[in-house]
Structure 1
Amino acid sequence: MDPHTSAQNVMRCDLCETAVVQMHCDTCLVNLCKACVGVHMVSDESKKHEIVRFQFRKSTLIYPVCKFHQKERCEMYCNQCDIQVCSTCNASRNHSGHNILQMTNVYNARKEEIEKEIEELEQNIFPTYQNIASDVQNRMSQLEKEYGDLSTAITKHGEDWHREIDKLVKKLKAEVDEMKTKHYDALKTHKDEINQKITDISDEIQASSKLLELNDISLFLEFNTNIQEFTNLPAKVYKTLPHFTPIQYQPEQLMELFGTLSSLSLNSDEHGYKMKKSPEAGSSPPVKQLLDEPETVTTIDTGYVYLYNVACLSDEEIWTSGDDNTMELYSINQGSVLKSITTKSGEIPYDITVTKSGDLVYTDYYDRTVNIVKNEKIEELIRLQNWNSRGVCSTSSGDLLVIMDSDDKKQTKVVRYSGSTEKQTIQFDDKGKPLYSSGVYDRYITENRNLDICVSDSGAKAVVVVNQAGKLRFRYTGHTPAPENKPFNPRGITTDSQSHILTADDKNECVHIIDQDGQFLHYIDCGLKNPEGLCTDTNDNLFVAQYGNIQMMKIKYLQ
């Protein structure tokens, strides 16, 4: 059988082009099988061949060229002079009696120091800054309410003042009306008295005029006029008008009476934040080698028309979802359904994952929600606005990573949630360009053991990997030749204890295995039919959801 056209395509020896690659020459950058190592060693005896296992390729140290002896490499380090030295330098008088160290020891010590620094940054410092950012964001979110309450208190106090002033104005105006009435009544009485006098005078004039028309002397002698009464004019009525005397005040006096607002005080406390303490780091997982030929352990038939997703609950139980609104829990050993959950909206779940506490989480694309199933009851965890949820995964820290696209299908982003609280958004690279494709394409997400965030982006025909901070690390766009020689079309994605990234390729009907730096390692075929969803259990067994034949396949691919 021609290994280059076989369904199971793996890396082959560069010499014999037949056997599977097992070793690598770091000096010549040549891939080798074990049988060809000797042949390669004697092919050019002028070189010092550094033969390592394939997974440890590029591990040979490259010593710097000596500044003073260009043909020699510096394999030593002078501690006193703090410089790199070659064997000739070491033999000179310049370094006589100095503490000369092996460069490998210096390198290993510095490497260990850097690794510890990276571990401290990743496990303590970076999470601490994330928590600080979350704390600041929460306090920023509270500002609207707190300052709103302050404005409301001032407005209410002003309204209280307005009510009291309105009462006072009404009282004073009532007193003015009362005084005006009294004043008017007094003048009216005085006018009535004057009018009565005018009537009396008119009568007196009329009576005197009639007497003058008569010639009766006795009447003249008997007539007495009242002119004296009328010549005594009535007293003039004076009323002093009331007047309003407003209290004069300065604006600052009114402020003192109304109430004062304290000044804003922004203080900092260098001891206010505490460094996040991470749990004791566990021992590194044992190194496992890839099998030359992956093995199918078991196959489970499902009742879906199309099977899309799988998520391990344990090494014995696995959740599945497909083309209907149910999610079913299967017994891996028995191949039978243990439990069935129907989505709250009645829509098809887009993706599923299992949390550290064993709860099922699913995304509902059309309902714009992320939901959690606890004790067989569905709780809405997150409801999106103007975005639709696609892939979801539960992280080692207990957070949820959700990849989503906008309503207009022009934007795609990854959002980290702690419960229902948004903690981080990943959308653009350092140059402000989108990390992910836009449009109606399938996208799935997972977290690697090194905390990288890995997205299979079918729109970009790539696996896009960013670090925990959201900085782009690499894009994997497939490996040629692929089993079916078709363009790479990534679907489901998962990782294992070795920090391998595995992604389904439905067009080539295989699973790609790449290392944590994006280097292709292996294809898994095993007769797959349109592989879609992927997950691994604690023993690094791979589970594949195949929508081509609605079967779930368990595959062993590591020793």
Structure 2
Amino acid sequence: MDPQHGRQKNVNCDLCENPDHPLYCETCQINLCRACVGNHLLDSSVRHQIIPLENRDSDLIFSICKEHSPKPCELHCEECDVFICIHCVTSSNHEDHKIEDAKRKFEINKDHLQNDLQEFNNLIYTKYLEIAKDIRVRTSKLHTYFNELESTLSQQREKWYGEIDNAISEMQIDLLRIKNNLSLPLSKQELDININISEINQSILDIKHLLQSNEVYKVSAYKSNIAKFRKMPPKIEIGLPKFSPPILNFRTSCKQFETFSDSYITTDVRGYITETTEVEAFPFKQFLEKPFIIKNIKTQYTGFLKELHSVSCNDKSEFWTCGKDSIIKLYNFQAELLDSVKTKSAKEPWDVATTTDGKLVYTDPNDNSVYIVERKNVKKVLRYYDCRPRNVCCTSDGDLLFIIDDIISEVTKVVRYSGSKEKQCIQSGDKRQPLFSYGDIKYLSENRNLDICVADHGAHALVVVNRAGKLRFTYSGPSPIGKGSFDPHGIATDSQGMILTADTNKHRIHILDQDGQFLRYIDNCDIHHPWGICIDKGDNLFVAENLTGKVKIIKYY
């Protein structure tokens, strides 16, 4: 039987290709004709179980255990994520591990495959085709517009004659440059969209093959990539330049003829909208009249010189913590210590964060390095010689944002990295004034509109810049009367775009909207010296108390 196509009406013998009514060896999982059964049973090293094909109670094909051949791997160890046989359960390798029926994992993954296929077919693939068509149409309109604009320039050339002929040529070069600059993002995005369409097509084909497959290992090894495509690409808006011929004065500088209005390229971060994007991703939520604590977890950061500084939650009801010792600790909601990581320098880290795929990132100013941890493997990803990395956050697109103190020039900046490559540096405003105070404590977070929000303790303010690094606003407290008394530390943003920051000395949390408007406090939850904070996908607020060593999980929506 072809495992890719499930149960077949006409099945050939796997040994001689005889099509006449084969039998089946459950041990070796092969089809046999009557003539081949005798030779097959001569292999005494294996206890064969021969049955009529029609008596098979399952089409599932299990892999053979490498340790206990020929036993089939009909179980799955969740912790090790491997298929095992019944004898493996009692081995030391899987002692106290959670074991499940391999058939159950097979059925669950089949459901996932079916759901992914349905979403690809019914929504994502069609939408990507529409996006590609829309980009082609807008690119064509862009080219048409510039062709018309170039024609207008040619007509104007006839009026201006010889001495401005060179100026017109220069303008045409500028026009071509603008056209190319504006066309390039659309062309690049169209290429990316077409690549995605190709990948989606391939994913659909792969899923269809897997849905037809009865091979447990292959189906269970399926890793869904549909999340990569659910978020529609950003929609690039093009601001078209206009041409306004000036009143000519031939004795003035030829610079007078630079009369194109500003063009621009902006990116709508919401992307192309699918039928489910806005409603499902960001449902409207209302604040609770009285926020309340749903968990009060005591960590090991208590006692002399064991302050708790940072907390970062993942998608598994777990959270990492760090403070004034060299051990970074992972807890669950039952206050159980699940894991720990000792820093490479054997000294205290500065901050921790969790990547979109669940890896731990921590900064260590003791050796000016940044590390990433996956399954106990601690890897150095960045090392500075004249800068000190402080706080870190992970962005929605997988980049890392760091607070960096430049020791030589004594400035503090925000830098964006993709892997080990620096993509952006933010440190000055439009008038080249520093955006952040030098040194001191700072936390940062990315908002859903891609703003970068920095809690600047030294400046007693929140500093918020857009993705391009331009200053949007600063916040120093809800009232000018309290200027200088605002003591920001941890900062986080939620699914509604709200900005939350810990006001340590006032023992409360400020909540602002994404434009810097103060909305309310969380100050009724018995919070003491809140320091680091984070928010999980359910919009639950995690507050790390600096001196008590407690992490309080607060519901405020």
TM-score by length of 1: 0.50
Larger Rg: 1
TM-score by length of 2: 0.50
